[in-house]
């Protein structure tokens, strides 16, 4: 993991002092609500329905056991005993008092954490995939460049008041698990013929009310040019992005208006002034940062473990969990474990209690090297677990409500906090997620259905990434009541696709039955072990529509 040095520490502590002063001035009436707004947003503080929400940055989803324990202590001391992991790998605390925020930030700073730029019209938390550094299909570890980007974008004075928020993701695995096509800038890192690190630069992707997949503006960019190239993109965007309408202010709208060729030309012209200048990354800097990400001291383990094999054979529930929640690792004998935060009715997707955080921190030390990842699917990953320890970990995870064997299944629902918390939401998300989870509570059936992603957003800002769910559910407001529009065929990863709307929206009560009918249609048309998303692609939307809309739906019981 990256370790803070004196510069990094000075920055986060000075930032806490600065914000403490701003909060005091706001509370004393010296700063107006309007003046305070962007200051608090750039320190992660939103006003929600009831109180403030604080979004803490978890850079590229990586945190230490100590940092996780600090999050637990904040949940316990300043919130209601839980936190919520977001689709951008951050943690949100939903019940925060403004006057306590500086103390919370100070507690975070003590463990090298912050909430800087987790909101506001600036460059947000840099994200990558949860299995960076350990995934069997990884080409190059993307974390050093992610950390370099994090530093470069943090309080970069020219780019703090962009037309709109700006999200950058970087990925370097065969499967794109960082959704780089859905970001303002998506970076794909890969080795060139001579082994040099190269970048493919994608711009203008995004969800929200105008979902668009990003377009490539450059390929084969040597890594040394990462910062100067991103600077060029940001300067073009800062100068020319629309500011008259917040719904048309993302870079994707500018790219669309200019056309990708004209946009690329602007960027290229700007970059000609910057390339080979002081922003060019040095080998020294790369090595300095990369040295923090050297692999831990893995033991030499046998590829197979006898006890593990016995447990697999004897215990079908364990075998099922291993099949769904355990990922291959690049080191023999090791695995990466996904702890599902989607147990169903027991708690909403992404919500984790202080006791669970504490337990996860302990497990990360007992079974791994004290490192924890947050996946953009809102689950927790322990990246380095020996096969021989899986059984023990599984039993503990079950005991703590983190043992659901449903990763990638229909009930591994991605959901935003929705109308229960969020002031922007048109509709609630959590009760919909839980009603679907309750309807599909037969694990054998779920496993037979195979991979199906179901994503729920409470409004078209799309924090729940509904467009890229195989099944997407979007909360919409119709004359003051909550309705849900359903899309099919969305996908993330290498074959990213945006889902298509199947027809008129449904009431909350109808949704579980609609999902049941969609699944029923899939089962009827599915060939062999075909994936849901492939069936949708093969047969189109019609068979689903016929089944869902033939007659008025009976109200669900």
Partner 1 sequence: MNNLLRMEASGARIVRDDPWTLIRSPETEPSAGMLILPLAHWLESPSTHAVWLGPDDGVESLLPWLSSLPLIALDFPSFRDGRAYSQAYLLRSRFGWKGELRAIGDVLRDQLSHMRQCGFDSFAVREDKSAEDALKGLAGMSVLYGRSVIEPRPLFRRR
Compare residues 234 and 337 and give the one whose CB is closer to partner 1: 234
In contact, 526 and 542? CB cutoff 8 Å: no
* The two three-digit tokens of residue 124, written as one number: 């947000």
325-364 b/e with 16+ CB inside 10 Å = b?
bbbebebebbbbbbbbbbbbeebbbbbbbbebbbbbbebb
Q: Indicate whether 18 belongs to the interface with partner 1 (CB under 8 A).
A: yes
Q: How far is the CB of 272 from partner 1 (least distance, A)?
A: 11
Tell me the C-alpha distance between 95 and 327, whole Å.
Answer: 34
Tell me the C-alpha distance between 427 and 419, whole Å.
Answer: 5
Neighbours of 3 (CB within 10 A): 9
Q: Please count the helices (runs of H) and the strands (runs of E) in the chain.
A: 18, 20
Q: Indicate whether 278 belongs to the interface with partner 1 (CB under 8 A).
A: yes
Q: Indicate whether 153 belongs to the interface with partner 1 (CB under 8 A).
A: yes
**Options 152, 190, 298, 369; binder of partner 1; rule CB under 8 A:** 152
Compare residues 243 and 517 and give the one whose CB is closer to partner 1: 243
From 117, 125, 123, 122, select the one nearest 147 (Cα to Cα).
125
Q: Indicate whether 70 belongs to the interface with partner 1 (CB under 8 A).
A: no
The distance between the two most distant Cα atoms of the chain, rounded to a whole number of Å, is: 68
Tell me the C-alpha distance between 224 and 521, whole Å.
Answer: 51
Q: How far is the CB of 148 from partner 1 (least distance, A)?
A: 8
Q: How far is the CB of 252 from partner 1 (least distance, A)?
A: 19
Compare residues 77 and 158 and give the one whose CB is closer to partner 1: 158
Q: Indicate whether 112 belongs to the interface with partner 1 (CB under 8 A).
A: no
**Options 111, 136, 160, 292; binder of partner 1; rule CB under 8 A:** 160
Q: Indicate whether 161 belongs to the interface with partner 1 (CB under 8 A).
A: yes
Query: Residue 229 forms beta bridges with which residues?
Result: none
Q: Indicate whether 11 belongs to the interface with partner 1 (CB under 8 A).
A: yes
Q: Name residues whose C-beta falls within 8 Å of residue 292's C-beta, 6 or more positions apart in sequence.
A: 1, 2, 3, 144, 147
Q: Indicate whether 298 belongs to the interface with partner 1 (CB under 8 A).
A: no
Residue 56 C-alpha from the chain's centroid:
13
Neighbours of 193 (CB within 10 A): 6
Compare residues 16 and 436 and give the one whose CB is closer to partner 1: 16
Compare residues 236 and 339 and give the one whose CB is closer to partner 1: 236
Residue 403 C-alpha from the chain's centroid:
20
Listed ranges 127-135, 152-160, 339-347, 408-416: which one lies at the site for partner 1 (CB under 8 A): 152-160
**Options 98, 279, 476, 541; binder of partner 1; rule CB under 8 A:** 279
Q: Indicate whether 243 belongs to the interface with partner 1 (CB under 8 A).
A: yes
Q: Indicate whether 303 belongs to the interface with partner 1 (CB under 8 A).
A: no
Q: What φ, ψ does residue 546 adopt, rounded to 5°?
A: -60, -40
Q: Indicate whether 424 belongs to the interface with partner 1 (CB under 8 A).
A: no
Q: How far is the CB of 114 from partner 1 (least distance, A)?
A: 12
Compare residues 151 and 340 and give the one whose CB is closer to partner 1: 151
In contact, 181 and 204? CB cutoff 8 Å: no
Q: Indicate whether 24 belongs to the interface with partner 1 (CB under 8 A).
A: no
Q: Indicate whether 159 belongs to the interface with partner 1 (CB under 8 A).
A: yes
Compare residues 272 and 481 and give the one whose CB is closer to partner 1: 272
**Options 4, 20, 38, 216; binder of partner 1; rule CB under 8 A:** 38
Burial class (CB in 10 A: 0-12, 13-18, 19+), 256: middle
Q: How far is the CB of 289 from partner 1 (least distance, A)?
A: 9
Compare residues 8 and 66 and give the one whose CB is closer to partner 1: 8
Q: Indicate whether 10 belongs to the interface with partner 1 (CB under 8 A).
A: yes
Q: Are strands 414-415 and 380-386 parallel, antiparallel or unpaired?
A: unpaired
Tell me the C-alpha distance between 175 and 375, whole Å.
Answer: 14
Q: Name residues whose C-beta falls within 8 Å of residue 235's C-beta, 6 or more positions apart in sequence.
A: 158, 270
**Which SS3 state, helix, strand or coil, does residue 360 take?**
helix
Q: Indicate whether 39 belongs to the interface with partner 1 (CB under 8 A).
A: yes
Q: Are strands 62-64 and 334-339 parallel, antiparallel or unpaired?
A: unpaired
Q: What φ, ψ does residue 307 adopt, rounded to 5°?
A: -60, -40
Q: Indicate whether 447 belongs to the interface with partner 1 (CB under 8 A).
A: no
Q: Indicate whether 97 belongs to the interface with partner 1 (CB under 8 A).
A: no
Q: With CB under 8 A, what is the number of residues at the site for partner 1?
A: 39
Q: How far is the CB of 243 from partner 1 (least distance, A)?
A: 6
Compare residues 62 and 153 and give the one whose CB is closer to partner 1: 153
**Which SS3 state, helix, strand or coil, does residue 101 take?**
helix
In contact, 475 and 419? CB cutoff 8 Å: yes
Q: Indicate whether 476 belongs to the interface with partner 1 (CB under 8 A).
A: no
Listed ranges 11-19, 72-80, 104-112, 459-467: which one lies at the site for partner 1 (CB under 8 A): 11-19
Q: Indicate whether 227 belongs to the interface with partner 1 (CB under 8 A).
A: yes
**Options 54, 101, 162, 515; binder of partner 1; rule CB under 8 A:** 162
Q: How far is the CB of 263 from partner 1 (least distance, A)?
A: 16
Q: How far is the CB of 24 from partner 1 (least distance, A)?
A: 13
Q: Indicate whether 247 belongs to the interface with partner 1 (CB under 8 A).
A: no
What is the contact surface with partner 1 in residues (CB under 8 A)? Answer: 7-8, 10-11, 14-15, 18, 22, 30-31, 35, 38-39, 121, 151-162, 227, 235, 238-239, 243, 273, 278-279, 281-282, 284-285, 288
């Amino acid at each position: 993991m990256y370790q803070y040095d004196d510069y990094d520490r000075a920055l986060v502590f000075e930032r806490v002092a600065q914000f403490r002063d701003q909060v005091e001035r706001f509370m004393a009436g010296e700063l107006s609500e309007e003046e305070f707004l962007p200051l608090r947003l750039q320190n992660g503080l939103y006003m929600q329905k009831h109180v403030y929400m604080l979004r803490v940055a978890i850079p590229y989803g990586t945190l230490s056991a100590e940092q996780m324990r600090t999050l637990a202590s904040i949940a316990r001391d300043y919130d209601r005993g839980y936190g919520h992991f977001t689709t951008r790998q951050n943690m949100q605390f939903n019940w925060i008092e403004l006057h306590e925020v500086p103390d919370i930030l100070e507690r975070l700073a003590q463990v090298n954490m912050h909430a800087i730029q987790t909101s506001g019209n600036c460059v947000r938390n840099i994200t990558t995939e949860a299995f960076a550094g350990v995934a069997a299909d990884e080409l190059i570890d993307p974390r050093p460049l992610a950390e370099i980007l994090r530093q470069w974008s943090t309080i970069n004075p020219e780019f703090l008041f962009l037309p709109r928020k700006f999200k950058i993701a970087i990925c370097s695995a065969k499967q794109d698990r960082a959704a780089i096509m859905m970001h303002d800038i998506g970076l794909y890192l890969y080795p060139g013929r001579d082994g040099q690190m190269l970048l493919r630069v994608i711009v203008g992707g995004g969800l929200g009310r105008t979902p668009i997949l990003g377009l490539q503006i450059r390929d084969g960019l040597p890594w040394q040019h990462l910062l100067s190239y991103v600077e060029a993109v940001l300067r073009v965007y800062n100068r020319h992005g629309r500011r008259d309408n917040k719904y048309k202010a993302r870079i994707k709208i500018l790219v669309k208006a200019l056309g990708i060729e004209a946009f690329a030309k602007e960027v290229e012209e700007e970059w000609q002034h910057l390339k080979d200048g002081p922003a060019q990354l040095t080998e020294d800097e790369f090595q300095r940062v990369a040295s923090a990400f050297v692999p831990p001291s893995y033991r030499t383990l046998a590829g197979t473990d006898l006890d593990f094999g016995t447990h697999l054979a004897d215990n079908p529930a364990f075998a099922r969990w291993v099949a769904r929640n355990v990922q291959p690792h690049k080191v023999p004998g090791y695995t990466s474990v996904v702890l599902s935060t989607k147990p169903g009715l027991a708690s909403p997707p992404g919500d984790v209690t202080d006791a669970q955080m504490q337990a996860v921190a302990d497990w990360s030390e007992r079974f791994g090297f004290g490192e924890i990842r947050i996946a953009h699917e809102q689950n927790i990953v322990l990246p380095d677990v020996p096969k021989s320890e899986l059984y023990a970990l599984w039993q503990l995870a079950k005991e703590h409500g983190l043992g659901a064997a449903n990763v990638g299944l229909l009930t591994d629902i991605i959901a935003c906090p929705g109308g229960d918390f969020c002031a922007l939401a048109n509709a609630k998300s959590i009760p919909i997620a839980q009603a679907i989870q309750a309807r599909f509570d037969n694990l054998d059936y779920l496993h037979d259905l195979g991979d199906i992603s179901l994503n729920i957003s409470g409004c078209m800002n799309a924090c729940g990434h509904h467009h890229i769910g195989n099944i997407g559910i979007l909360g919409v407001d119709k004359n003051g009541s909550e309705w849900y529009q359903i899309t099919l065929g969305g996908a993330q990863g290498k074959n990213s696709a945006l889902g298509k709307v199947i027809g008129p929206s449904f009431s909350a009560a109808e949704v579980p039955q609609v999902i049941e009918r969609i699944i029923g249609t899939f089962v009827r048309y599915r060939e062999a072990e075909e994936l849901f998303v492939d069936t949708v692609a093969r047969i189109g939307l019609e068979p689903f529509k016929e089944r869902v809309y033939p007659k008025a739906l009976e109200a669900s019981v």
